[in-house]
Amino acid sequence: MTPAVRRRVEGLALLAAFAACIPAANWLIGNVGTVCVPNGPCLIPVAPGLTAPSGVLLVGLALVLRDLVQRRLGAVWALGAIAAGTVLSAAVAPPALVLASAAAFFISELADFAVYTPLQKRGLVTAVLLSSSAGLVVDSLLFLQLAFGDLSYAGGQIVGKLWMVLLSLPLIHWIRLRDERLGLVPA
């Protein structure tokens, strides 16, 4: 398989994984947790004394996957993924959370894009860490403010998303090394 074909195939697989995170995160919030609040989210512990809606894990992963989509397919594909993800986020969100879900997704992914794009050539791991961190803070604060006018879950949301970003970094490092070995230059 040529490097160009490999990049395209991997990019499309990453795009599919990115898209799958959106409905999966919404499903987790309503179905999986150590405690499920009546008419509210299912929560998981993310640190001592901190809980967050269980979907935060996949939201953190989605930020990382978007960066990898951009690495494999390019900025235009990444922006298209953000637009499609926003529509999908609105489509799968509960009716009361459509605006908050779509707006937080769109703006946080654009924040991730804005940080990742200039940093990606200086170092993949650093670019993913900093861009995903920016995106997850924006997503957490904006969603909670728009949806509930209350930031009481912000700490848990940020920590839960950050766990997924941090857990992905060894894989991101491996991808960078593999790309160098195989001659897979970023798109």
Instruction: Quickly tell me which residue has 């309503």 as its tokens.
Output: 30
What would the pLDDT profile of 121-146 be if each residue is shown by its tens digit?
A: 899 999 999 999 999 999 999 999 99
Which tokens hold the place of 144? 């909670």
Its sign, for the CA torsion 159, 162, 164, 167, is: negative
Its sign, for the CA torsion 163, 164, 167, 170, is: negative
Within 13 Å and on the Cβ side, how many CA atoms surround 62?
Answer: 28
When pLDDT is cut at 50, 70 and 90, the band that residue 26 belongs to is confident
What would the pLDDT profile of 156-178 be if each residue is shown by its tens digit?
A: 999 999 999 999 999 999 999 99
